[in-house]
Structure 1
Amino acid sequence: MATDTPDFRTRLQDWIPKLVLSPSLAMVLVFVYGFIAFTVYLSFTDSRMLPSYDWVGFENYAKLWGLRHWHTAIVNLGIFAFLYISICTVIGLGLAIFLDQKIRGEGILRPIYLYPMALSFIVTGTAWKWFLDPGIGLEHTMHLWGWESFEFGWIKDRDMAIYTVVIAAVWQTSGFVMAMFLAGLRGIDNEILKAAQIDGASNWNLYRRIVIPLLRPAFLSAFVILAHLAVKSYDLVIALTGGGPGRATELPATFMYSYTFTRNSMGIGAASAVIMLMTIAAIMMPYLYAELKEKT
């Protein structure tokens, strides 16, 4: 019996982590991947207010791409995603380079830049809705200060409302992108930079030819994170504009919700959700493949 005790303890130590993690794994399999599979199935059925199991094939996808509202959501997503990713990347990189100069007060500035990311998108959307409202926000304040000609009613303008969503999203996420680039900058070997400076490289050439190319992993990570945030943006739009005025700020995520829960077209809503999932997968898979390939 004495010789069996160590074997029993070894087996118990091997099994305890598996037993502890198994409930969480089971819940992930059921409530994440299980519901993803169920949504994919519903997209091929005649589901309306409640799930239906009448198979209709790709009919929901054909109806979806024939809807003008869906095309509006796709166009808005293209505008929002392009501006959101581009501006966040430029501002994040600029702030990271600024803080990397070992300036005084870095310990204070860094949390200030990161603070918006600690807020929920609902809070951000509500705050910017008040700030941009012509009746109580920036425009009203400027009028009180005597600048009567100042106008900034983008949030009420069908052609400009989507850009208010970009402003709010950039304000919230730029600090997070800055942290990613700052980590990348702090990871660059100083010997490389010193050697370039000894060779007479200017600061512009130093960043253009050495620093920024070495930040390629940070650029890729920032793109993947920002792109998937753009695709699934919902709560910020609902809190800021509610998808309006009209459908001027409709995005695929808000379209999916409205068709699933307010228009009783669950099949079409599920089809739009599957397309969003495929878009995110198309962004994530090359990134994951490149990461795994480098490790092997």
Structure 2
Amino acid sequence: MNDFLVSGMSSSRNREVLMPEQPEQQYPFGPPVPPKATSNRPQEADDSGMLRLNPLYMPLDDLPNALFMEGREGAVWHYSVVEDEHEVDGVIEKVPAVMLGSEEILTILSEEEQNSLLAGMQEAARRRAEKNPDEPAVIPTKEDLENGINKLGHPTIAAGFTPNGETMVRKAMISGEVHVFPSKNLIMINDKSGRYMSERVRPGLDPQEAAKWGENVRRLFSNHFPEVTVQFQQIKTLTPPENAAVAQIAKSGLPPAAPGAAGGVPRTDAAATACPLRTDPPTTGKVARR
């Protein structure tokens, strides 16, 4: 049986984990693929070159519903479906798990939470300056806060762990955005991930197949939020000019997004064909290291 490789982020500290490959038809959320390489996200690596975890890294199964439905209007979350280990009757099986985080964390935090976080960062900087008077004092600004916690993309959400606990880049299945509108009791998910859903990493993808993956992940969110309307909007995996038309619709008549959000989401339902999948939300056995 062939193996597929998931490797660490740092070339000098690569760690490799071999996982058995499965036939594509066994992937109702799409086959796992490595993220598209990019040079414009240096913030995704720490000072030692290892992958950073998204500050909101958590599995959907552990998400308190109030964090979504009592949060800010138009908050923008992101998700990736990954393979995780799950014990069934003493046997370890690989199952899909929805991992959550956000590239736009400031759309989720309230102004009070942002100000409190910034004040804490500034106080910590002042204390460091007092202990090290010979070093120049650098007091963080609001821009430093934004640069420090925003733009941590899907690889920081799909992240895995090596046997010794170090973070590593992991392959992912369908990935995208999650827009939350508590006042409308509405969650909209889509397939907008340049890292895991682009033509470069999924060449020749049939849009109808991607629509099935989207419907399946919509069902997982709906299972977790049984009292909430959950819709899937296919955008990234549509071929031109279809994706341009959807983008235009998405701009024209949307619920308002929170300040700082990249935009709203369409009100329309997505027409997608479902395929069989498990009915209970998957869980992850890993605990995030901050």
TM-score by length of 1: 0.25
The structure richer in helix per residue is: 1
Larger proportion of strand: 2
Structure with larger Rg: 1
User: Relative contact order (alpha carbons < 8 A, sep ≥ 6): 1 or 2 greater?
Assistant: 1
